[in-house]
């Protein structure tokens, strides 16, 4: 459940200590999880509504609330991004 949070904090720490720019670490983590979760939402949409056919997918279908749940949105996306943003603001 906390895997994405731990990965984000470690990655931000590596980038922050290496470059001195903790905002860069936050940006990398945010981009990583946004891209990953969007791709996961696309796959869920294709499986649920696209009959397994990727050509039916449109760019906005990954934003469909029917393919998101609390785990995907909160634990995998919002929590890690919020944590690294707070750390970036503090340091």
Kindly report the average pLDDT of the chain as a whole number. Answer: 96
How close are the terminal C-alpha atoms of the chain, in Å?
26
DSSP state of 55: G
Q: What is the pLDDT of residues 53-77, one digit of tens each?
A: 999 999 999 999 999 999 999 999 9
Q: What is the pLDDT of residues 17-45, one digit of tens each?
A: 999 999 999 999 999 999 999 999 999 99
Among the listed residues 5, 31, 1, 3, the one whose alpha carbon sits nearest the alpha carbon of residue 87: 5
pTM of the model: 0.90
Instruction: Check pLDDT > 90 for residue 1.
Output: no
Report d(CA 6, CA 42) in Å as an integer. Answer: 25
């Amino acid at each position: 459940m906390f895997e994405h949070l731990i990965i984000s904090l470690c990655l931000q720490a590596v980038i922050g200590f290496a470059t001195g720019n903790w905002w860069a670490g936050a940006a990398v983590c945010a981009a990583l999880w946004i891209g990953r979760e969007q791709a996961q939402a696309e796959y869920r949409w294709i499986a649920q509504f696209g009959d397994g056919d990727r050509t039916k997918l449109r760019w906005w279908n990954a934003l469909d609330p029917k393919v998101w749940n609390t785990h995907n949105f909160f634990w995998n996306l919002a929590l890690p991004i919020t944590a690294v943003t707070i750390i970036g603001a503090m340091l």
